[in-house]
Chains A and B, each alone.
Chain A
Amino acid sequence: MTTFDAIAAIAATAAIDARGLCRRYGRRWALVDVTFRVAPGTSVMLAGRNGSGKSTLLRVLAAAIRPDRGSATVLGHDLGREREEVRRSIALLSHASYLHEALTAMENLRIAARFLERKTGRDALLPLLAEVELDARADDAVSTFSAGMRKRLALARTLLQEGSVVLLDEPYGELDPPGFRLVDRLFGTFKARGATVLMATHLLDRGAALCDEGLVLEGGRLRWHGPARELPEQGGLDPATLPEGAR
């Protein structure tokens, strides 16, 4: 095998291969020249201050928004030309819950299941709700849910998608300590499925314990990429300026 073949083989197997991604909102650049590669099955922690571009990066990779410059492939599918295939492979847990207020938890899941063309029966979906400890509230309208419960439902929806690449945007947000443990458990579920996980979080220690690698964004640029356990010290994020509970 020549060097070229070896490189090609490596490139072909990357789960995420981002090259020079840039994204602008108005006159402000939220992502500037972001380049990195993630191997399949790896779990990556995405850290950075508020406004550093973490959510934007996840949304670009999920094919929710287009990059203004640069390109990327997800599991070999080009982000620009094969958006539908990328979306099929990816499950995104966004800041927005993607839920319908007026409908029940079960109904929200059932709608997603129908679009995914999966089983929609109660016995198929109730276990998912049980995983996130919402089975008792399955038939209650989302409008009666607290913020933490909405997050759990959103997590259940992400679980339902069975994505090969799972993007989590601040999954611990709005959750209580039992909720934190729930996210840790789900993280383990994703890993057990062999999924590649990219998780944006402010909880540096927790993330470092769970993830293999770490990425640090600052001002839209990629500042650091290395083993996750080194991120809290090496990543250049001053703990004093991070939000409560981050350390």
Chain B
Amino acid sequence: MAVSDRLNPGAGYALMVVGALLLAVGSYIGLFVAPSESYMGDVYRILYVHVPTAWNALLAFTFAFGSAVAFLIRGDFKWDARHEAGAEMGVVLAGLLCCQGSIWAKPTWGVWWDWDPRLTTTAVMFFAFVGILALRRFVEDPVKRATWSAVATIIAYVDVPIVYFSVRWWNSLHQMQSSPETVSAPFLIPLRTNAFGILFLMAGLITLRTRLARMRLAQEMAPPLPEVAS
């Protein structure tokens, strides 16, 4: 089929390999080479995946948002495919982020969830985009599916800063501790390595997923015209 010939999966696989390598290197440094932190001991090491995951989750959702806008403006279904891939990737990363947050919180504060504004916003985003993916599942017509989910993504994404500020305000009254964000220089190398590692991994996955979505769309939107009856 013409579409899959043009979309070479090679690039996607290559990105993933590079990403996996970087992630492996960065994690090794983070786990074994970097020194113990003065206040938090070894628990802090999860930051080496937590912070990069956070950056990339936001990137994935932003990519989904951009694709949704592009689709509504241009009407080209390749943007719908990218939108689907970005949304799925964002959901996976957001889910991971919440798990990592819990793994951090339990030994540190003794509770599984500490209502940190960023993490709470991520949880809300997770549910919002799960809803959007469910919407895509339940709508049969590809044009409606693409249009409606694009509209929903735009509204959800515009909501993100509002959610963040409202949770932050709400939280500040309770004086809760937030997850540590500033990391000093010696720790930057594994952090950046992992960030790029996850970035490449994500880019590879999105490329492959987009390809899959485009192939499915091509099948859906252009079934062969029936032959002329004699």
Determine whether A and B are in direct contact in the complex, meaning some CB atoms lie less than 8 angstroms apart: yes
Q: Which residues of B contact A22 (CB under 8 A)?
A: 225
The answer to whether B225 and A218 touch across the interface, beta carbons within 8 angstroms, is: no
Any chain B CB within 8 A of the CB of A26? yes
B1 within 8 A of A: no
The 8 Å CB contact of B225, one of A26, A29, A66, is A29
| B187-230 near A? 1/0 per residue, CB < 8 Å | 00000000000000000000000000000000011010110110
Assembly CA distance A26 to B223 (angstroms): 9
Residues in B158-195 with C-beta less than 8 Å from chain A: none
CA distance A27 to B220 in the complex (A): 7
In the complex, the answer to whether B229 meets A219 with C-beta atoms within 8 Å is yes
CA distance A19 to B143 in the complex (A): 22
**Chain B, 40-65, contact with A by CB distance < 8 Å: what is the 0/1 string?**
00000000000000000000000000
B5 at the interface (CB under 8 A from A): no
Report the Cα distance A53→B71, complex, angstroms.
30
- The distance in angstroms between the C-alpha atoms of A221 and B227, with both chains bound, is 10
Chain B residues near A66 (CB, 8 Å)? 143
Chain A: how many interface residues by the 8 Å CB criterion?
14
Query: In the complex, what residues of B have CB within 8 A of residue A219's CB?
Result: 226, 229
Question: Among B140, B141, B221, B226, which residue has its beta carbon within 8 angstroms of that of A220?
Answer: B226
Chain B's closest residue to A32 (CB) is B225
Asked whether A32 lies within 8 Å of B229 as measured between CB atoms, the reply is: no
Interface class of chain B by DSSP: loop
Q: List, in ascending order, chain B residues with CB within 8 A of A24's CB.
A: 221, 223
CA distance A4 to B143 in the complex (A): 38
| Alpha-carbon separation in the docked complex, A22 to B179 (Å) | 57
Mask for A59-103, Cβ within 8 A of B = 1, else 0?
000000010100000000000000000000000000000000000
Distance (Å) between the CB of A79 and the closest chain B CB? 16
Map CB proximity to B onto A7-41 as digits: 1 under 8 Å, 0 otherwise: 00000000000000010101111001100000000
Chain A positions 157 through 169: 1 when the CB is less than 8 Å from some CB of chain B, otherwise 0: 0000000000000
In the assembled complex, the CB of A191 is this many whole angstroms from the nearest CB of chain B, namely 34
Could you tell me the distance between the alpha carbons of A218 and B141 in the complex, rounded to whole angstroms?
Answer: 24
A68 to B141, CA, bound (A): 12
Which B residues touch A29, using CB under 8 A? 223, 225-226
Q: Which residue of B lies closest to A24 (CB)?
A: B223
CB distance from B143 to the nearest CB of A (A): 8
Q: Shortest Cβ distance from B183 into chain A, in angstroms?
A: 52
Q: Give the B-binding residues of A (Cβ under 8 A).
A: 22, 24, 26-29, 32-33, 66, 68, 218-221
Q: A29-B223, A32-B225 are in contact. List 9 more A-B contacts (CB 8 A).
A: A22-B225, A24-B223, A26-B140, A26-B141, A27-B220, A27-B223, A28-B223, A32-B226, A219-B229
A-B contact pairs, 14 of them (CB 8 A): A22-B225, A24-B221, A26-B140, A26-B141, A27-B220, A28-B223, A32-B225, A32-B226, A33-B225, A218-B229, A219-B229, A220-B226, A221-B228, A221-B229
Q: Which 3 A-B pairs have the closest CB atoms?
A: A27-B223, A32-B225, A29-B226
